Amino acid sequence: MDDTQAKPQQYPNRYQVGDFIVDVNAANVTNRESGQKCQLKEKALKTLLVFLEEPDKYFSNEILIERVYDNVSVGTSTVAQNIKQLRDAFDDKDKSIFKNRLKVGYRLTLEVSEYDAPVLDEPVSATSVVDSPEVSPQQFQWNSVLAVLFVVIVGIVWFQMSKESEVNSAADPLLTQTPLTASKGQEYFPSLSHDGQWLLFSHRYQSRGWALRIKNMQTGRSEELLSGADYSYKHGQMTRDGQRILFTRLSSGKCELMEGHFDNATIQLTKIRTLYSCSANAEGARIVEGHHADQYIFSNGPAVDAPYSLFVFSTVTGRTEQITAPPTTGHGDYFMSLSPDRSKLAFLRNTQKYVTEIRIFDLEKRNDILLEKVNNTLFTVNWSWSGDSLIYKNKLNQVVSLDMNSRQNNVIKQARGPIYAPFALDGSNERIGLIGGSLVDHDIVYRDFESQDEKTLLDSSFSDTLVVYSPNKNRLAWVSNRSGLYQLWLKVGDEVENVITAIQSNGRFTSLDFSADGEKLGGTFEGRWFIYNIRENEIVWSSESEHRFTNFAWQHDGESAYILDTYAHESVMKLLDVAEGITTRYSRFPDANLVKESPDGLWLFAWFQGSHRFIRLNQQTQELLEISTSNQTAQTNHWAISNHQIIWVDKPADGPSFLKRLPHQESVSLQVSDKPYSGWLTVSGSETAVILTTRSRGNIELIEI
């Protein structure tokens, strides 16, 4: 070819990713709004290229390692570091751009296109044109043989990988999950229209309020119906005729149950009006159709702290009638769903903490019956398309169908990550839509309160809480919902984290503590205590009884522990003999609610709920210091005690909580930081730093499984 011949205009390898420009050759990401440019390291750039080639697709840690590191042996923490750099470059503070799903992987949620801004051609130097060497017939034949062998080997490997993929997909239903939407941020409060064509949901991005969106399930197109800086729109519900949409509008100190006419051609709401003004701050209030065309049913609480009840409102008479009377304890009647024939109302009743009743209200007979009681917090209960069953998530993190005739539960789906609000996408109950992800994201970080340096130790996009650390063994333990059920996890140094427990139903861990030598973990779960021997890899649980144990804390010898025993509404501090499994009354401070020692056993700290006293005792000299009389609450994992000091979460009667520290040889405490803090913390091995949990909005999205 003639070197002087005009060449076609060249474009650099650049992409537009949402509001960002990615320049592959320059290895940087530019925010088009702010102009800020962020340089990427080589492996982070290669990770980004995997997402750019197939946006909106999940990539597992194994796939990312294979494509980025060419199967070089690296840990999943290396992948997490690359993802963190990408999140920093894309200002992905809420982790909605690079979403993470346990057992599935990461995906890029922004739209990707080639950035077509032209640049001037650069002259081609003569040295850039290289003549092709001549190839002999023998070389050609040998190269052909190698090429055929290569194709055969690749084909065999591809076949084996595809078969393995089929097996894995069949074993794990979340491997076949499909995002129902691709909105950046959080997606919640889903509702499917009666004919299955329209999906309503609320969407929130960063600090904005909830917007109401709608998706056409046939075309896949999603549109925003309502939004506003001063309002949040929740609980969207389409009427049976498809002509109106009911929703709740919330603003500062105001709650309105509203209706708008839906134009399915322009995808807009018109003639928007307020049907009923609910109680101020009644964020759970929602409205659905009633038994007749002129009726509406809504939930509302007469006061902020009062339980919700269900009401019928008539647009003809303007009258409002209360139809349920929940008990005075609990949250009351907070969610309802109308049956396809509009004769019955399924609703949820919270009677006490973590106890939910599924009930049916007959709109013709005006009475309600109890179907099932679940020892778990439920968010929704929805009807099947035929109306012969109810669909909800049980405490085993399963999607179940409750048959209305037999009252039998049938498991539809078993999820491997946290799920909420399931609903049927078709009449067979085979396709299920739901919310996937953790409502709250707790990360575990190392924070130096003198230098203000902070390092993320664990970032899973799930709720990682009750963190404890053993400096002697470099062991980190915590509680996480990443598997869908709260379990106990352990990580040693840079090794891969492992799950310790195999709890079969959701419950609450209320305390966790390492022994001073780091060889044992102890804690409490749903009123029972447990001891995990790390060296023997054995866990021992107390038997179930009417005694409720909390605030487990080891004594320095590792053979016994302080533990709070509550029985018949009376709480007593006791000592637990670990070997015998026997508790005895702690005679020194039996009325304390929390007792904890320093690792060397010299210093003892106690807190008393009734008087709010917080004391320190030198167990050698018996000198007692009254630290505070105003601390309102304390739990085992609100205190981090070393041999030199205590750092704790201090909650005053008024105002936010702060971290405070008190060296053992001093008598006046100091505030660690000006920033409020109310999470969990533990020692770090350094006297100027702690390991603690941070809290942010969870990474939740609408998916189909």
The residue that leads in pLDDT, 232 or 54, is 232
**Strand pairing partners for 606?**
595, 615
- Please provide the DSSP assignment of 199-222 as one string: EEEEEE-TTS-PEEEEEETTT--E
What's CA 255's distance to the chain center, in Å? 27
Residues 31, 161, single domain; the answer is no
pLDDT tens string 407-433 = 999 999 988 788 999 999 999 888 999
Q: Which two tokens stand for residue 497?
A: 């984290």
DSSP 122: P
What is the pTM assigned to this prediction? 0.74
pLDDT surpassing 50 at residue 58: yes
Domain count, the chain: 4
Average pLDDT of span 650-669 = 92
Within 6-101, residue ranges assigned H as helices are 42-53, 61-69, 76-89
Mean pLDDT of the chain: 85
| pLDDT value of position 303 | 63
Residues 635, 668, single domain; the answer is yes
pLDDT surpassing 80 at residue 128: no
Indicate the pLDDT class of residue 689, thresholds 50, 70 and 90. very high
Task: Give CA–CA dist 487/490, Å, rounded.
Answer: 10
Any domain includes 289: no
Residues 496, 544, single domain; the answer is yes
pLDDT surpassing 80 at residue 157: no
Question: Who contacts 96 (Cβ-Cβ below 8 Å, separation ≥6)?
Answer: 109, 184, 185, 186, 205, 699
**Strand pairing partners for 355?**
352
What CATH number does residue 565 fall under?
2.120.10.30
Query: Burial of 562 by CB count in 10 Å (0-12 exposed, 13-18 middle, 19+ buried)?
Result: buried
Residues 480, 603, single domain; the answer is yes
- Residue entry with tokens 């310790």: 500
pLDDT surpassing 70 at residue 363: yes
Average pLDDT of span 227-241 = 92
DSSP 621: T
Residues 557, 672, single domain; the answer is yes
Residues 34, 78, single domain; the answer is yes
Any domain includes 501: yes
Any domain includes 314: no
Asked if 528 and 539 count as a contact pair (C-beta separation under 8 A), the reply is no
Indicate the pLDDT class of residue 649, thresholds 50, 70 and 90. very high
Residues 97, 158, single domain; the answer is no
Residues 604, 474, single domain; the answer is yes
Any domain includes 244: yes
- Of the given ranges (324-328, 563-567, 617-621, 679-683), which has the lowest mean pLDDT? 324-328
Question: Who contacts 161 (Cβ-Cβ below 8 Å, separation ≥6)?
Answer: none
Task: Give CA–CA dist 487/499, Å, rounded.
Answer: 7
| pLDDT value of position 116 | 66
Any domain includes 181: no
pLDDT tens string 167-176 = 333 334 444 5
What CATH number does residue 81 fall under?
1.10.10.10
Q: 302 vs 305, 309, 310, 314, 471, CA distance in Å?
A: 8, 8, 11, 19, 52
Domain that holds residue 52: 14-119
User: How many CB atoms within 10 Å of residue 648?
Assistant: 26
Per the document, the length of the chain is: 705
Asked if 585 and 574 count as a contact pair (C-beta separation under 8 A), the reply is yes
Residues 617, 645, single domain; the answer is yes
Residues 61, 163, single domain; the answer is no
Average pLDDT of span 549-578 = 95
Residues 32, 153, single domain; the answer is no
Any domain includes 366: no
**Strand pairing partners for 4?**
none
Any domain includes 643: yes
Query: Burial of 127 by CB count in 10 Å (0-12 exposed, 13-18 middle, 19+ buried)?
Result: exposed
Residues 588, 485, single domain; the answer is yes
Any domain includes 60: yes
